[in-house]
Structure 1
Amino acid sequence: MSDIKLSTDETDRIVSKIKTYFRDELDQDIGGFEAEFLIDFFAKEIGPHFYNQGLADANRVFTEKAEDIGYLIQEMEKPTF
């Protein structure tokens, strides 16, 4: 897995959400610099868990669709007798 890269716009939006969360839920102010450190921390420490879950979800969907295709192919078989 490569490092998570966010655009400047994405980072700015996430920083804003973190600052709002800290203010509204924790009654604390947090600066943009600190919020960016939190983003980096979460991306590094928690990001792989979400990434792996995404892969597992994609694999499940792929397996289900491949099974459906297998049934469709079987339905196309011609009788041999």
Structure 2
Amino acid sequence: MKPIALSREETTEMAEKLKAYLEDEFELEIGTLQGEVFVQFIAEHLGPGLYNRGLADAQAALARRVEDFAEDVYGLQQKVPRRR
């Protein structure tokens, strides 16, 4: 599996959100570089688990749709008349 790669813009945006969260919740101020390094750490070490959870959710949703589709197709079947 290839590693999760964030664009510079995504990293910056996430770092700003992280900085704001840490300041609001813990009164902890970090610099921009620290925020970006932390975002990269999260992407590398926590990202794969979150990504896999998303894939599992998508797979479950797809399975439900396939099951619904199979039921719809079954409902379209016509009865074959019996020969007397």
For normalisation by structure 2, the TM-score amounts to 0.85
Unaligned runs of 5+ in 2: none
* Post-superposition offset of 1:28: 2.1
Q: Does the CA contact (< 8 Å) of 2:19 and 2:29 recur in 1?
A: yes
Provide Cα deviations, 1:30-74, integer angstroms capped at 9, x if missing partner: 111111111111111111111111111011111100001111111
Which runs of structure 2 are paired with 1:1-81 in the superposition (5 Å)? 1-81=1-81
SS of the aligned residue for 1:6 comes to coil
> Which entry has the higher C-alpha Rg, 1 or 2?
2
Alpha-carbon RMSD across the aligned residues, in angstroms, is 1.3
Distance in 2 (CA, whole Å) between partners of 1:31 and 1:16 is 9
Q: Does the CA contact (< 8 Å) of 2:4 and 2:43 recur in 1?
A: yes
Q: Which amino acid aligns with 1:60?
A: A
Unaligned runs of 5+ in 1: none
> How many residues were matched structurally?
81
For normalisation by structure 1, the TM-score amounts to 0.88
Distance in 2 (CA, whole Å) between partners of 1:25 and 1:79 is 65
